Amino acid sequence: MRSHNRRMEEYGKIDLHLHLDGSLSAETILKLAGREHAKLPADTPEGLRPYLTVKIDCGSLNEYLKCFDIPLAVLRTAENLELAAYELGVRLSKKGISYGEIRFAPQLHCQNGLTQEEAVRAVLAGLDRASIESRLGKREKGIGLRSILCCMRGVGLHEANLETIRVASRYLGMGVVAVDLAGAEALYPTSDYEEEFRYARSLGVPFTIHAGEAAGPESIWKALEFGALRIGHGVRAAEDERLMEELIRRGTVLEMCPTSNLQTKAVRSLSEYPLRTYLDRGIKVTVNSDNMTVSDTWVGKEFALLSQEYGLTEDEAGKLLENAEKAAFGM
């Protein structure tokens, strides 16, 4: 069984939906906190991990999002953002991942006077350094790392979101590949963000949108109406037959994250997970990690879980990897 799981893990070569702040190791966070003299609830990796990883009885996406408080508290300088991105890139490379799109919201790192552009430049520098190091002394091409900039759901964030999109347009093709909309979907509906994505379209910035995770099919319909090329999660598309047909017609890609979807109660159990329904219907679905630390996973582990608990076959895993290769914004 262990060798089979290891073989299935090898299909986890690409991660298109991976949040920087939710994927930092406890060791990295301790290092970052030491630089800022930030107080943490524990001073060892073992002691800190329970504060970074979602509880087994997590009841909702809103509760899941509380696990980001500590990482965000230590990501307030350009130096820390660069180191965080670099160390995450190194971890991904060591796991054999060949390509990753790391997303983060630059506006969440500006409390101490940092601009969004400075935050983005720092993260891109860290990812670039990790990518270059992964190629040194090797015949293979190493890991490709790109960034997606997240707009945020919430009150009073419109101008900050527009700035995120402006910065994305400035760095498009220079490490940034797209923008996103993240946050508490059920509290702040996708329909409220029409102006942001009209602006993104006007600047030629491609985008994905978190939708159909904590809200229903109507959220995905709005994302499609705005012009999203990919949908973050999209679990609840299965509730709407016409929507599934529209996803097929448009070729829209779903970025599914099984462990996270279970933890946030987007689905109650893997037996209800619609991934195979999507695959069988010809919807372009991919498998991703979402948050490596918060969900205690990585993309290879997601494939092993689906094999062991869901009956995912190697043919299906191969199709999921192929979908990811074709759906990447920046490969």
Q: Which residues are catalytic?
A: 213
How far apart are alpha carbons 232 and 119 in whole angstroms?
23
Contact call for residues 127 and 174 (beta carbons, < 8 A): no
In which residue are the tokens 């994250």 written? 257
The gap between the terminal CA atoms of the chain, to the nearest Å, is 33
The enclosing H or E element of 302 equals helix 299-310
Per-residue H/E/C for 40-85: CCCCCHHHHHHHHCCCCCCCCHHHHHHHHHHHHHCCCCHHHHHHHH
- What are the beta bridge partners of residue 256? 287
User: Which helix (H) or strand (E) covers residue 182, if one does?
Assistant: strand 176-182
> What's the CA gap between 283 and 211, in Å, rounded?
16
Dihedral angle of Cα 60, 206, 94, 288, to the nearest 10 degrees:
40
Distance CA 226, CA 222 (A): 6
Pairing of strands 144-152, 176-182: parallel
- CB-CB contact of 195 with 201 (8 Å): no
